[in-house]
Homo-oligomer: A and B are copies of this chain.
């Protein structure tokens, strides 16, 4: 969204039943139409009934990469969803930037809380995005942010201004733990040689205060099922005399936190590194208004680990959340049943230097240990990821810093992200390449929630910022190598 060019673009606002005129040039209109097209594909990776849309989405990405100027773009099948790779070689002697993104999206449910169809993108104005925001599942996470990179790349090629080589690595399993990506990058190590990885799949503080995520939490995710009786029983005939798996699973979940909201798994905090002073000072640069925070998500009160601030709790401290629970009769009315089974999905966010495989094992062992003999417990663990940090002295960070400063006119703050992009630590481990996280979304964009959206302002500023990044990174690299 450049301020100079002002033809009109009609954006319907569903909530107020008006139309809103948003001024953009023809090119920008085209960008939005293309992104909308991408967002109509329900590429939900977690649910097998969306498999064909996931594949359609991969094809869409391949086509977009070719059209944007890649020399080659290929779809690589995996045991799960396919990976798309595109390359542009300017000169083998120049540095190579690898752009990672994902074309898969979170499940859209609960559907009844969406104000519009999650796969029929529409533009609406919001208090935070008075210029308009695109509402759809994946608008911000990550189709919108991935599309920023495709468009920035396309413009640089068109302007003949790209001074480095670029590889695109776009997967379709990020929302289910990037199950097959680590194997893929191990197999294609040679093809994936690069100097830096660039990802836009995080948020910045606000539209007026950009930020660069210098750390991510790791992820561990399990599903636990407790079984008591082999069949559902009548709670009158049996109540009080038999194991009830809901009662027990609840009790066990309750036991995972103490009264100070500390996680009780033995040794849980043993590997956590305390935050150094400079990093702590940097993350506290972010203005934090508790009242505004509570209002933004509609909570009465804050809850979290004692002796830590909200900023730390959601970024540099580990956490444990139940993401889903089910058992027994959950429809209308009453049913007096003691169910045979109850299940829960439980995830943990991990911080440097916790290892996801060890932490998952610890959680599993603890759950098994606290399960009474009267119950059978079974646990399924999903793909997790280790936490990640990058130094503010890294060349890529410096280039990103300069790029945001140029586009937004404000110095970005180095923050630590609470979310997880498990593959980032794999990139470091397998390929030995550091990642720079240039996020353009906002926390209020409702990613993973109903009514996910992405501000048009953020989208267009993102394209400008990424273009500046290439410029600064190439310059800094050349300076660095000439020293």
Spell out A's residues near B (CB within 8 Å): 45-48, 106-107, 109-110, 113, 175-177, 203, 217, 219, 221, 228-244, 246-247, 249-257, 297-305, 310, 313-314, 317-339, 342-345, 347, 349, 372-376, 382, 417-420, 443, 446-451
Residues of B within 8 A of A303 (CB): 241-243, 372, 374
Residues of B within 8 A of A342 (CB): 325
Asked if A339 meets B313 with Cβ closer than 8 Å, knowing A176-B334, A219-B236, A254-B252, the reply is no
| Inter-chain contact A48/B332, CB cutoff 8 Å | yes
Residues of B within 8 A of A417 (CB): 236-237
**Closest 8 pairs (CB-CB, A-B):** A230-B298, A236-B419, A240-B319, A251-B254, A46-B333, A254-B254, A324-B328, A250-B253
Which residue in B230, B237, B301, B335 is a CB contact (below 8 Å) of A203? Answer: B237
Which residue in B236, B244, B319, B375 is a CB contact (below 8 Å) of A322? Answer: B244
Residues of B within 8 A of A322 (CB): 244, 246-247, 250, 327-328
26 pairs across A/B with beta carbons < 8 Å? A47-B331, A47-B332, A109-B331, A228-B299, A229-B298, A231-B298, A231-B446, A233-B448, A233-B449, A237-B314, A237-B417, A239-B347, A242-B297, A246-B325, A247-B256, A250-B344, A251-B257, A253-B254, A299-B374, A300-B374, A300-B376, A323-B335, A325-B326, A326-B326, A329-B345, A335-B345
| Inter-chain contact B254/A255, CB cutoff 8 Å | yes
Minimum distance in angstroms from A219 CB to a CB of chain B: 7
| Inter-chain contact B332/A46, CB cutoff 8 Å | yes
Residues of B within 8 A of A221 (CB): 334, 336
Residues of B within 8 A of A228 (CB): 299
- Give A333 to B98 CA distance when docked, in angstroms: 29
Question: Known pairs A106-B337, A239-B319. 16 more at Cβ < 8 A?
Answer: A107-B331, A113-B232, A232-B448, A235-B319, A236-B417, A242-B314, A243-B299, A244-B322, A246-B253, A247-B256, A250-B322, A300-B376, A303-B374, A323-B337, A324-B329, A326-B327
- Give A250 to B326 CA distance when docked, in angstroms: 11
| Inter-chain contact A314/B254, CB cutoff 8 Å | no
User: Which residue on chain B has the smallest CB distance to residue A252?
Assistant: B254
Residues of B within 8 A of A297 (CB): 229-231, 233, 238, 242
| Inter-chain contact A328/B331, CB cutoff 8 Å | no
- Give A372 to B304 CA distance when docked, in angstroms: 12
Which residue in B244, B310, B317, B446 is a CB contact (below 8 Å) of A321? Answer: B244
Residues of B within 8 A of A244 (CB): 321-322
Residues of B within 8 A of A338 (CB): 321, 323
Minimum distance in angstroms from A381 CB to a CB of chain B: 10
| Inter-chain contact A232/B314, CB cutoff 8 Å | no
Asked if A336 meets B448 with Cβ closer than 8 Å, knowing A328-B324, A419-B236, the reply is yes
